[in-house]
Amino acid sequence: MTAMLQPTNRCLMRILAVLLLLAFIKKAIYCPLKARRISEHIRRQLYEIYRVEHPEATAARVTLSPSRKVARIAVNVIACDRTAELKNLLNDISRLLPKSDQFGVFVSLGCDNDASRQVAEQFANFVVLEPEWRNATRDRESIRNSHAPPKRAKSTAYLARLSPQHREALLKDGGFYEYNRVSNQYKYSLTYSFDIFDYDYALFIEGVGWMISSSTWSDLIDEWPEVFWDEWVRATMHRQKKACIRPEVSRIAITDDSFSSRDILAMEPYDLFKYITLNAEPYDFTSANLNYLLREQYDDELDRRISEAIMIEENDITKGVVNRYKSSLKIYYSTESQFKRLSAAFKYVPYSQGGVCATCYKGILQLRWHSSFIYIIRKDSAKSFFSLYDFLLKIFN
């Protein structure tokens, strides 16, 4: 009996050894090769995008056959009823885009507005007008669930129509589900982060920007908010130690026209938003070293800058002392009323959600005031930034 079992055991051992060898080959050879092919494919796609956006950088190296068909790049404009802003934007697009068939401009009207449609039709030579996207049932549910006051009902309705378009665009662009499945399977074999949506950028109000990582998108994909999705990100239950580094170059501003002013006034304090100005100085992001935006480097540098900044008091603002400095300044506050007074003094929008003020990073608000940087810091966020130098300065002053 024992003699009969020995060949069987040897056979099972061989089968087990073969299975282990196959598992090792898959993990050590097949998966890395598969991951490398995927990453190379993505890199080629990113390079193609870069080559189209920066033709001057690759003109000497890349030549296209006259018979080769060039894919058009879509420029999608989502518009509602701010006609002056839409006209200015389309004027800029017609001025900046090359005179070729390389780009296709699509204007999507998020609400029924004849004036906006007429503005878009003025640019019929290069604009394709998309029909408005409507869902009356969803609009009513959004207004009912958002607890919006009557004067904001219209704004909430059209935002409810625009919000799903962002989600659908993210799902459509890049095939998220397939990439997510592949990245989960081969991520351990890659030598760098496999985040397809690492740099998807979205805006809610001026100065509030969010860089969506793939993990955040995974949370959002099944719980997409009806209207203000960035408020979902800032809610305490969803924040989970997420933070946003404020945009250092302003890329958005409110159009100075009465129609836009009246429209925004129904939603937000326009008198404060109107002070946001668009950056007029070109900034070459492609050649700049942005490694300082990595969290570890950014936190250390921010710690150093705040420690070296000169501390001022609230009454220094009314005395005009702030305008005398050209170096960085910092001021601490402890109450909401004090923060509102400081916001009014520096023409900042005192908007907050879930205890997070707009453009704040770790409770620290960074503003540029004339030739100085101003750091407005909540006292319970200032433990790591309150240096011995500040303590001695406060005693002797």
CA dihedral 236, 239, 240, 245 (to 10 degrees): -130
359 close to 314: Cβ distance less than 8 angstroms: no
The answer as to whether 6 is a domain residue is: no
Q: HEC string of 377-391?
A: EEHHHCCCCCCHHHH
Return per-residue pLDDT of the chain as tens, 397 residues. 555 556 677 787 888 888 888 877 877 777 667 666 665 665 565 556 555 555 554 433 333 344 445 566 777 787 777 788 788 888 888 877 766 666 778 787 766 678 888 888 888 777 777 655 444 334 444 444 444 444 444 444 545 555 555 556 555 544 444 444 433 333 333 333 233 333 333 333 333 344 455 566 666 667 766 655 556 666 666 666 666 565 565 555 655 554 444 544 444 555 656 666 666 677 777 787 878 878 788 888 889 999 999 898 888 887 777 777 778 899 998 888 888 888 888 877 776 666 667 777 777 888 887 778 889 998 875 554 444 444 444 455 4
**Domain identity same for 221 and 75:** yes
The answer as to whether 92 is a domain residue is: yes
The answer as to whether 52 is a domain residue is: no
Q: What is the Cα–Cα distance from 123 to 129, expressed in whole angstroms?
A: 10
188-to-27, 31, 182, 192, 329 alpha-carbon distances in Å:
10, 9, 11, 9, 45
DSSP designation for 335: S
**What residues make up the domain containing 179?**
71-135+150-244
Q: What is the Cα–Cα distance from 164 to 229, expressed in whole angstroms?
A: 10
Residue that terminates a domain, selected from 218, 244, 270:
244
**How many domains, the chain?**
2
**Domain identity same for 172 and 78:** yes
For residue 200, what pLDDT is reported?
32
**Domain identity same for 111 and 236:** yes
Residue 298 corresponds to which amino acid? Answer: Y
For residue 307, what pLDDT is reported?
92
**CATH number where 339 lies:** 3.10.180.20
**CATH number where 169 lies:** 3.90.550.10
For residue 193, what pLDDT is reported?
29
**Domain identity same for 226 and 314:** no
The answer as to whether 187 is a domain residue is: yes
**Domain identity same for 224 and 345:** no
**Domain identity same for 238 and 316:** no
For residue 306, what pLDDT is reported?
92
**Domain identity same for 238 and 163:** yes
The answer as to whether 158 is a domain residue is: yes
For residue 107, what pLDDT is reported?
81
